[in-house]
Amino acid sequence: MKITVKLFAGFRDNRFKMAEQDYPEATTVGDILSSLNIERPELGVALINGRHVLPEHVMVDGQTLSLFPKVGGG
């Protein structure tokens, strides 16, 4: 299935800004994080088509996944 993945902030370092990628059926947000070498504790927000989801969410063909890292600072 085809999923559009958008990366933001530090997640773009040595990766991409946006890419349409093929994933097997029943792929989760967590599986995509793993494929991008992004550790779950680094994830701040995951959105599918603009709605907040958890790493356990199962993706559906044609969805857009946006990944934002945690924001540091004080």
Return d(Cα 42, Cα 62) in angstroms, integer.
25
pLDDT of residue 72: 65
The one-letter code for the residue type at 22 is: D
Domains of the chain, earliest start first: 2-69 (3.10.20.30)
Return d(Cα 43, Cα 41) in angstroms, integer.
5
Nearest residue to 1 via CA among 68, 73, 64: 64
pLDDT of residue 71: 80
pLDDT-flagged residues of the chain (< 50): none
pLDDT of residue 9: 92
Q: According to DSSP H, which parts of the chain are helical? A: 29-35
